Amino acid sequence: MLTETVMRHTGLRSSHLQASAMGSVGLCLVLWMRAAGLDQDERGNAERRAIFVGLWAPTLLLLGQSLREFE
């Protein structure tokens, strides 16, 4: 409840969070494709970075859904 109130007062809307989630998916794909071009020593770290960014999407979508119900 407090989180929704803070997000609402800062001007953050559910559509902003949903767009950010889609951007996270896009960034994840870009990082993953970029990792394919690296040598084997650096590929593991780059792939982990892509997975980490990909994990942001569900969190942002859930926050957006929660905020939409609050709106």
For the chain, give the mean pLDDT: 86
The confidence band for 28, taking pLDDT boundaries of 50, 70 and 90, is very high
Give the pair of three-digit tokens for residue 11.
Answer: 């001007």
pTM for the whole thing?
A: 0.76
What would the mean pLDDT of 40-69 be, rounded to a whole number? 88
Q: For 61, how many CA atoms within 13 A lie in the half-sphere containing its CB? A: 10
Give the pair of three-digit tokens for residue 25.
Answer: 């998916």
Whether the per-residue pLDDT at 4 is higher than 70: the answer is: no
Look at residue 58 and give its three-state secondary structure.
helix
Domains of the chain by residue range: 2-70
What would the mean pLDDT of 57-64 be, rounded to a whole number? 91
DSSP 38: S
Scan for tokens 């609402």, then name that residue: 8
Gap between the Cα atoms of 63 and 15, Å rounded: 10
